[in-house]
Structure 1
């Protein structure tokens, strides 16, 4: 069964990006090979991606999920219909205003692999709808003070079980299971450890 997980690099104060969407702060820290190993193992298990963006900014401006290194179908939430786009071996399908349908379609496409949820608004909505099995965070040691929040405005408490924690050069890698989800037992069985 496919596991739906929120995947994000965040600052210690919980921001995905600076106030104008800038992410240059992600690259100012030393990393160890083990940091990349953690990211590579997660990326190798992704079978589909769900995010939020518009056709022009996401694809034509080069803001593609995972920089295009994850070759999996991408389902992007939109308020206006748009034809699917194929670029560099990745198909981008635009889903109008039906996040639950986008996640279900992504799960079907992913098969036994995982569905990665990207972006603050889409992540919060997926949590509110009970669609998320796990949360994977790569935390970098910086406080931005302001910016685009991953969980700000969620509006309710969601309890988590810690599955894994690791830290190497600078980043801290955190993995949690969302408590009380319908797929909890299946997620626990199928993702008890990341693939080597």
Structure 2
């Protein structure tokens, strides 16, 4: 069955978006297009779980079909699905899940088969860890300091989790850290 990998790019001081909600300083085009790291990430991913905010970062939701690096089933955790479904293709489909993170991950695991489920977005990453649904945490450290913004792990309910480092990889100027979740909350 699919393992669940939760995480995303983060500044060295722990933020996934700046004070204005921007993520431009956390994006490295060299790492995210055509690198061996990205090729490996795409190959291991069978489904994606996104939070509503992460999904909405694409100004045009139809952009995902044919452009998003993960052309796999996508499950969006939301309270309110859009009135109109975005464009889909033979590989990338959208399911808007309104009954919580556990349901989204359960559906994504089925869709992913033997490949991994990627959970992306600060809120859904924290929800997955709190609910003991994440098998691994993957953090791509970007060598910038944002000073303030949206923290990835700024949640007192995450106190007590124990991790074991299972991977470390340099991706150009970035550093990917992978951890197995041993003692989730």
- Fold match (TM-score > 0.5): yes
Tell me which residue corresponds to 2:172.
Answer: 169
What is the DSSP-based 3-state SS (H/G/I as helix, E as strand, rest coil) of the residue aligned with 1:126?
helix
The alignment's TM-score, normalised by the length of structure 2, stands at 0.84
Distance 1:148 1:55 in 2: 12
Do 1:85 and 1:91's aligned partners in 2 also have CA atoms closer than 8 Å?
no
What is the aligned length?
179
| Distance verdict in 2 for CA 1:168–1:59, change over 3 Å | closer
Q: Give me the whole-angstrom Cα distance separating, in 2, the residues matched to 1:79 and 1:12.
A: 31
State the secondary structure of the residue aligned to 1:146: coil
Any conservation in 2 of the 1:48–1:116 contact (CA below 8 Å)? yes
Q: Give, in whole Å, the separation in 1 of the partners of 2:6 and 2:84.
A: 23
Report runs of 4+ in structure 1 exceeding 6 Å deviation: none
TM-score normalised by length of structure 1:
0.79
Cα distance in 2 for partners of 1:146, 1:54 equals 18
Give the aligned partner of residue 95 of structure 2. Answer: 93
> CA 1:32 to 1:92, structure 2 compared with 1: closer, same or farther past 3 Å?
closer
Distance of 1:81 and 1:26 partners within structure 2:
28
Judged with a 3 Å threshold, the aligned counterparts in structure 2 of structure 1 residues 56 and 146 are, in CA distance, closer, same or farther, namely: closer
Q: Residue deviations 1:25-65, cap 9 Å, x none?
A: 124x69579x9322321221111111111698356535859
TM-fit CA distance, 1:80: 2.2
State how 1:19-34 maps to structure 2 within 5 Å: 19-27=19-27
Counterparts of 2:123 and 2:82, CA distance in 1: 20
In the other structure, the counterpart of 1:7 is 7
Superposition CA RMSD, Å: 2.9
| Whole-Å separation in 2 of the counterparts to 1:161 and 1:76 | 28
Shift of 1:176: 0.6
Distance 1:40 1:84, change over 3 A: farther
Structure 1 residues 56 and 127, CA gap change in structure 2 (3 angstroms): closer
State the partner residue of 1:193. none
Equivalent residue for 1:44?
43
> Is this contact kept in 1: 2:47–2:109, CA < 8 A?
yes
CA distance, structure 2, for counterparts of residue 161 and residue 91 of structure 1? 33
